[in-house]
A and B are shown apart, each in its own frame.
Chain A
Amino acid sequence: MEQILIQGALLSGLYALIAMGFTMIFGVGRVLNLAHAGYVMVAGYSYFWATYMMGLPIVAGFAIAIAVSTGLAVGTYLGWVRRFLNDPTIVFVSTFIFALILEHVMTLAFFRENINVPPIVVGMTQVMGCPVSNNLVAAVIASWACIGAVLFFVRKTHMGRAMRALAMDRRGAIISGINPDMVNLTTWAISGALAGVAGVFWGSYTFLVPSLWVLPLIMSFAIVVIGGLGSIEGTLAAAHIVGFMETATVLAINDKLRSVPGLVIMIIVLLARPKGLFGR
């Protein structure tokens, strides 16, 4: 039981971080960027490349990972998605293809073998009698720091307000003089940066493989649907529902059923409350 609580809280924190960028893009631009999880995967590899293969310090590894994933997000937006903002289906399908392309590119560069990212913080700690890796704890603290920073940004800065305005009513925001392109670009950049941080921690928590994006994508998708598409608060809550359910399933039932509870809850939510728990 303790283990479910501890592991669940930690996993949920990481899920929240990954799903956050995904939900922001939907909230502001009303499109789903399935390549988001691809950025997470590429960021993990970038960090490994910088720190282990190039021997750069951890800070540089983070900077490079964040720069790469932000660059990818901004590139996807400016080079492609921007033209199709009024056609969510095109964006949905094409960003899925982008994720596949990223997987192929990473396969060419790093092959299909599993790679271990050395922990950023080493060692284990006993919490309530359960072993917990310090690395995961650090990952979750960092996740919450990022989530906090994003919440601050969205609530307290002008650009954040503009994002919320665009999310609430696109035309209303534009008529208030808000440049939707700029706000979208900023959102994509922030979301890309979040993917960068998430990629480093997710990669060091799990392992690197070019198909690494699939599970986070499924989980993020379930989370944002459960939480209410575009709702940041909903995403945080749903990440914890999914994270705890998953941990409980893995520990108490069978680890093969890992992603089942999230998807089942998603379907129930879709049927019972299609706009999600926090959807408007």
Chain B
Amino acid sequence: MATKLIEIKGLTKKFGGLVAVNDFSFHVEKGEALGLMGPNGSGKTTVFNLVMGDLKPDSGEIIFEGKDITNYPTYQRVKAGIARTYQVPRPFQELPVIEDIQMSTIPDSIMGSFRGRAMPLEKVAKIGEDVGLKEHLSMYPRELTMGDLRRVELAKALATNPKIVLLDEIFAGLTVAEIGELDTLLQQRRKKGLNFIVVSHDLKALAPLVDRVVVIHFGEFIAEGPFDKIVNDERVKAAYFG
């Protein structure tokens, strides 16, 4: 029974007259990596925003590890083990990379501000190195390339010690070599039990990473299944190219 890590039920979000997400449901099994596919403007980022609590749904439920977290504030979802990266990276402009990553590890109490420990910098550095930021740890965001900024996003998400990470267009703007490195890294993490939901236009990068794909179109669920089957699905083809 308790095989579902996260379950989204009937999620709906309207922006004025526009229904960005419409009665959308899917789930992620424990140990699974899920791809979320859909053409531009189909509502993928909005789904992430809803899952993170960046937006409030008009209706629907979000169940994480059996708990209804629909009304949790964002930071509690983070504490519970959900993390995300942003499509447009948003690092703290005034902090060097290593302190930015460390921010994700600070304890959540006033007393903790003196005694409780944030992750020591050596360990933070390790997270940075893992995503390929070894050379960049003391740099500021304005000195970094888009590829590096995406790595910072990922490192920050990983530093919150999540059970599941929502990756929004993590490969966009990266070179082929960089994509390869990142893919490898994510697969390693998966083996250690980390779950993902991945949004990407880059189907090549996506393919080896995900067990299963859910397709969204105009905010609605249209298909679900293994990657190979889905890319040949007529409805999906219609949605992408029609």
Direct contact of A and B (CB under 8 A): yes
A122 interfacial contact with B, CB 8 Å:
no
Q: Are B110 and A159 in contact (CB under 8 A)?
A: yes
Mark the stretch among A4-12, A95-103, A135-143, A167-175 that contacts chain B: A167-175
Determine the chain A residues whose CB is within 8 A of the CB of B112 once the complex forms. 158-159
Q: What is the interface residue range for chain A against chain B?
A: 20 to 34
Nearest CB on A from B13, distance (A): 17
Closest to A190 in B: B110
User: Which range holds the interface residue count of chain B?
Assistant: 20 to 34
Stretch at the interface among B39-47, B74-82, B200-208: B74-82
* Residue B94 lies at the interface, judged by CB distance under 8 Å to chain A: yes
Measured in the bound complex, the distance between the Cα atoms of B97 and A122 in whole Å is 51
> Shortest beta-carbon distance, B88 to chain A, in Å?
11
Q: Are A176 and B156 in contact (CB under 8 A)?
A: yes
| Per-residue A-contact encoding for B38-80, CB less than 8 Å = 1, 0 else | 0000000000000010100000000000000000011110110
* Contacting pair B160 A158 (CB below 8 A): no
In the assembled complex, the CB of A162 is this many whole angstroms from the nearest CB of chain B, namely 6
Nearest chain A CB to B128 CB, angstrom units: 15
Known: A160-B113, A172-B91. A179 touches B75 (CB 8 A): yes
Q: Is A64 an interface residue (CB 8 A)?
A: no
Select the stretch in B14-22, B101-109, B143-151, B217-225 that faces chain A: B101-109
CA distance A176 to B90 in the complex (A): 11
Q: B107 near A158 (CB under 8 angstroms)?
A: yes
**How many angstroms between the C-alpha atoms of A182 and B109 in the bound complex?**
7
Binding site for A on B (CB under 8 A): 52, 54, 73-76, 78-79, 83-84, 86, 90-95, 99, 102-104, 106-110, 112-114, 116, 118, 156, 160
